[in-house]
Amino acid sequence: MTNYYVYYRVELLRFAEMRAKVEKLFALVEREAGVRGRWMQRRDDPSTWMEVYEGVRDTVKFDALLEREAVAFGVARKVERFVCA
């Protein structure tokens, strides 16, 4: 299984807008991929946020889903993928 870490910067003025988009994405991801995401804020930089998705089984489907939905965010998103050693 693969764990995904997606991070990006959000202007504080856009926080409420972004939160709504993330919650919509989390519901979609849970429905389509069976994975519940978590949204985290960097401790020393309140403009940096991260989505965490753990235990993704179908990475091809998940990659396509994230890529398709990222367009709505309007920010540059960096996706990192990790597997257990």
Q: Which tens digit of pLDDT belongs to each residue from 13-26?
A: 999 999 999 999 99
pLDDT of residue 66: 96
State yes or no: pLDDT of 85 exceeds 90: no
- Give Cα 43 to chain centroid, integer Å: 17
| pLDDT the model gives residue 8 | 96
User: Which pLDDT value is given to residue 62?
Assistant: 97
Q: With contact defined as beta carbons under 8 Å apart, do 15 and 21 qualify?
A: no
Coil, strand or helix at 44? coil
Side chain identity, residue 79: V
Domains and CATH numbers, the chain: 2-83 (3.30.70.100)
Rg of the chain over Cα atoms, rounded to whole angstroms, equals 12
Q: For residue range 26-81, list pLDDT tens digits in order.
A: 999 999 999 999 999 999 999 999 999 999 999 999 999 999 999 988 899 999 99
